[in-house]
């Protein structure tokens, strides 16, 4: 028999968003890091650089746009992949733990943790509501599969 999520915890069931957010923040000193992430024009500069780089490398090998109609999407896709590689590398290489960030920001009241808790709780609730909103469609698909089998 199917159960309906109501936010309460019974044995083996998920916990409510507020409790989950609290459990995550209880582990924050070891599990929460902040990563450097380049956005906006910096990302665009990287993509444009890699587009030009790939175009030059292919041209040196005799490959040009006129000869291959799918070359532009190939170049753009690979330029974005190379950009993602650089962005992920920067993010992984430059991480700050929550305590370090609190020290740098001068946050003795730990307001960052309160804000993080609020965001976690809100996003967990939003994710759950998004899933629940789509379960009717899933049920219709499963019913159609069962009736056709």
Give the pLDDT score at 10. 56
Distances in whole angstroms, Cα of residue 144 to Cα of each of 1, 2, 4, 133: 19, 18, 21, 19
Measure Cα distances from 93 to 33, 37, 87, 101, 102 in Å.
12, 11, 10, 16, 19
Which of the two residues, 86 and 127, has the higher pLDDT score?
86
CA 27 to CA 118: how far, in whole Å? 16
Exposed, middle or buried by CB within 10 Å (0-12, 13-18, 19+), for 95? Answer: exposed
pTM: 0.59
Percent of the chain with pLDDT over 90: 36
Q: How confident is the model at residue 53 (pLDDT cuts 50, 70, 90)?
A: very high
Reply yes or no on whether the pLDDT at 108 is more than 80.
Answer: no
**pLDDT given for residue 73 in this prediction:** 93
| 59 vs 57: CA distance, rounded Å | 6
Supply 145's token pair: 């599969």
pLDDT of 2? 47
Is residue 72 very low, low, confident or very high in pLDDT (cuts 50, 70, 90)? very high
Question: What per-residue confidence (pLDDT) applies to 23?
Answer: 93
pLDDT in the model for residue 95: 84
């Amino acid at each position: 028999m199917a159960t309906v999520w109501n936010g309460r915890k019974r044995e083996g069931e998920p916990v409510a968003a507020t409790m989950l957010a609290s459990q995550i923040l209880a582990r924050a000193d070891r599990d929460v890091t902040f990563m450097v992430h380049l956005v906006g024009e910096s990302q665009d500069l990287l993509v444009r650089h890699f587009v030009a780089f790939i175009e030059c490398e292919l041209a040196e090998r005799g490959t040009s746009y006129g000869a291959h109609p799918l070359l532009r999407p190939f170049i753009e896709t690979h330029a974005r992949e190379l950009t993602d590689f650089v962005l992920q590398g920067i993010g992984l290489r430059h991480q700050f733990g929550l305590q370090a960030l609190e020290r740098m920001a001068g946050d003795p009241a730990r307001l960052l943790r309160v804000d993080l808790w609020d965001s976690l709780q809100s996003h967990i609730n939003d994710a759950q509501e998004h899933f629940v909103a789509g379960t009717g469609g899933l049920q219709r698909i499963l019913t159609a599969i069962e009736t056709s089998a």
